[in-house]
Structure 1
Amino acid sequence: MQKEHPAGSEETVRDLIVRFHTPVFRYCYHMLRHKQEAEDAVQDIFLKVVQHSAHWEEIHSPSAWIYRVAHHHCLNLAAKKRLQRLLPVRLIGVQPTVAEDSHSRAEEAMAIDAMLARLSPAERSIMILRILEDRSHEEIALITRASPAAVRKKFERAKNKLRQSCCKKEEEVHDPEGVSFI
């Protein structure tokens, strides 16, 4: 016998899609670093949300659950991309476009994107969830199915990795006397 959907579940699904579409798109865009791939991923993610809406009584935090679905979906897509690079025939992709109305915002988005590119997909996910999506370590732990302590440690390691990378880049730009060549 099939389980009945809770009363108003269709409205609940619609409300969650409206509420989380933009944040999940932003998360996917930073994870995948390509606008069209992020748009496709968001559609797949919310299709999964709709397909599993009958089991919502078991879900403690819809927000964490949606991000968990997005997290795993993006990691799977990133793994597929890595495998495609190993194939002899490469697929040529279109460079991501930045739909920002100001030049400084576009530069900032490109700088963030370049920094996140230095991280592994798992590290990138934690940084995006913590900094850009303002999620707590506990919520990230729910999303990634790790302990809060493990999330904190991974976050600190990723932050240090970025810090070291930025310091190396600054050393390359400045001469020994501290005068910038830019």
Structure 2
Amino acid sequence: MLTTHYNPLEASELERLISAVQAGETEHYAAIVQAFQQPLYHYCWRMLANRQDAEDAVQDIFVKAYEAIAGYVPKVHFSAWLYRIAYHHCLNLLRRRRLQKQWLRLFRPSEMTAASAEEELDNRLYTPALAAALAALSLEERNLLVLRVFEEKSYAELGVIMGKKPDALKKRMSRIKQKIKQQLQNKGEEAWSESASIMNTTI
């Protein structure tokens, strides 16, 4: 894996805080926010490629999580439960952006020169060759790649986040890697060190 995120809260302490919030002691929610704020921000930034949008998204995600926390049960890891909210929120934002850009291109095509969120993400994180390969992926495929490689989520967690069976996601991840490798080979280019790390990540 490329990076490691450490949750500063012990599992028992996290469970205690969640139970307290569910019991109405809402002041304890701040500690939960503090524990997950940074990794959630990194995830949102990688998906949205805009710092302000990522900050706004994190706030919205924590609001949604607070509103839904009464229904949380510890059968599912809290991190996976929280990332599922973030996953759907970011997908909705990206789909809304695409729709907005389609309308803007329709009415003002000459002014639409700014890169899309996906293109901005590629330009910041990857080589041009890998960026082109990633641009061909669907939003769900790219989300899976980010969650697995950068956020280091297990397939069990990914199953909860994305609402899919872990075995199916593992097979899909293999297809994604093969798709990217094939496109890189077709361009006759080899990925640089970071790209190589991404493509060689154990899945």
TM range (shorter): 0.7 to 0.9
TM-score, with length taken from structure 2: 0.66
- 1:137 corresponds to which residue? 155
Q: Which amino acid aligns with 2:184?
A: C
Highest relative contact order (Cα 8 Å, sep 6+), 1 or 2?
Answer: 2
Q: By how many angstroms is 1:126 displaced?
A: 0.8
Does 1:5 pair with 2:52? Answer: no
Structure 1: gaps of 5 or more residues: 97-106, 173-182
Residues 130 and 136 in structure 1, CA contact (< 8 A), matched pair in contact too: yes
2:157, 2:44 → 1: CA distance? Answer: 17
- 1:27 corresponds to which residue? 43
Does 1:43 pair with 2:80? Answer: no
Counting aligned pairs with the same residue, the percent is 37
- Taking only aligned residues, the RMSD between alpha carbons, in angstroms, comes to 3.0
1:165, 1:49 → 2: CA distance? Answer: 38
1:117-152 per-residue CA deviation (whole Å, 9 max, x = no partner) reads 442110111111111011111110110010011111
TM-score, with length taken from structure 1: 0.73
2:82, 2:74 → 1: CA distance? Answer: 13
Does 1:155 pair with 2:173? Answer: yes
- 2:80 corresponds to which residue? 64
Structure 2: gaps of 5 or more residues: 1-20, 117-122, 191-203
SS of the residue corresponding to residue 52 of structure 1 reads helix
Q: By how many angstroms is 1:56 displaced?
A: 2.7
Cα gap change, 1:171 to 1:94, in 2 (>3 Å)? closer
Does 1:121 pair with 2:139? Answer: yes
Q: By how many angstroms is 1:28 displaced?
A: 1.2
Q: Which amino acid aligns with 1:22?
A: Q
Residues 116 and 124 in structure 1, CA contact (< 8 A), matched pair in contact too: yes
2:114, 2:38 → 1: CA distance? Answer: 22
1:138, 1:93 → 2: CA distance? Answer: 40
Larger gyration radius, structure 1 or structure 2? 1
1:141-180 per-residue CA deviation (whole Å, 9 max, x = no partner) reads 11001001111121111111211122223359xxxxxxxx
Q: By how many angstroms is 1:95 displaced?
A: 6.7
Residues 67 and 143 in structure 1, CA contact (< 8 A), matched pair in contact too: yes
1:75-129 per-residue CA deviation (whole Å, 9 max, x = no partner) reads 1111111211221246869779xxxxxxxxxx87343983644421101111111
1:131, 1:24 → 2: CA distance? Answer: 15
Q: Which amino acid aligns with 2:144?
A: I
Q: Which amino acid aligns with 1:145?
A: G
62-71 vs 14-23, which moves further: 14-23
How many residue pairs get aligned? The number is: 158
